[in-house]
Amino acid sequence: MKKRQLGTGNLEVSALGLGCMGMSFGLGPPADTQEMISLIRTAVDRGVTLFDTAEVYGPFTNEALVGEALAPVRDRVVIATKFGFDYDEDGKQRPGRLNSRPESIRAMVDASLRRLGTETIDLLYQHRVDPNVPIEDVAGTVKELVQQGKVQHFGLSEAGVKTIRRAHAVLPVAALQSEYSIWWREPEDEILATLEELGIGFVPFSPLGRGFLTGTIDETTNFASSDFRNTVPRFSPENRKANQAVVDLVARIAAAKKATPAQVALAWLLAQKPWIVPIPGTTKLQRLDENLGAAKLELSTDDLKEIDAASARITIHGARYSEGGQRLIDR
């Protein structure tokens, strides 16, 4: 597995990481713990070094899973986790509420360290920008945690350009994690140029369009009751049908390259910038191997031009979050 650099602070990771959220949360019932531990360790054997989790995944259970799985190989991997949502006294998430107050960040990091079973968090993201806490205070708090050795690198998620610049002025931002894929290209408007200027890496989540770009989902697909895609306008049956055009595009390129649609979607992201590290998630070994195969797939200049020209003619239908989720996006 080739390596890529995130930021300017010597944070080197595999070209493809592994998003671990769906193992515990968000995409239906949690998967079997021992099977997921085995999958994560297999990913390490395949050369993956970046593993992504967050305290809110569960909440809390995904961090414990990732920590247990990576304990035997802790010195070979980079663990990324996130803080920033709010919880009640019983540890239940308060929907739509954020909390990046300095004292909360410190407590959240200590709790994450315990669940992960580690002495330091390699990459700590603010999960969503908290409009009630100046980003300078957030970055300053993380800077103190870096000085204490509890955190190695600072990241942001779904942050806008102004916030990125303000945070970076206090503490260098190693990576921005936001959605980016062939069917969500908004980061190309301003974000990518800003990241390149500042020397910040980009970690796209949902690089496979939450599974849609794999070609295994259509308007007849039924999601589990606990699958958050049920709440996403883009995944309504009528919008899935309307958005089939982008899947057909990826499938056409895949057939020509003797690859799978997922591999083309990931290879497309890898070809955009040398500091982009997608984190596709999966609970299945065959999908892990399929996704990692994208790192060996070379898309030619003509392939990329064809994808760009064809996708420019496609209108994507439906918002990528529910109304409540949209309110948490920083602009």
Which positions are catalytic?
57
Question: Which DSSP symbol is given to 209?
Answer: T
Tell me the one-letter amino acid at 127: H
DSSP 205: E
Measured CA to CA, the distance from residue 121 to residue 115 in angstroms comes to 11
Contact 14, 3 (CB under 8 A): yes
Cα 292-298-303 angle, rounded to 5 deg: 125
What 3-state DSSP class applies to 223?
coil
Residue 27 CB-half CA count within 13 A: 15
Q: End-to-end distance of the chain based on CA atoms, in angstroms?
A: 35
With 0-12 / 13-18 / 19 or more C-beta atoms within 10 angstroms meaning exposed / middle / buried, residue 224 is: exposed
CA separation, residue 319 to residues 27, 65, 184, 225, 272 (Å): 18, 31, 10, 20, 24
DSSP per position, 108-140: HHHHHHHHHT-S-EEEEEESS--TTS-HHHHHH
What is the Cα–Cα distance from 80 to 14, expressed in whole angstroms? Answer: 13
**Integer-rounded Cα radius of gyration of the chain:** 19
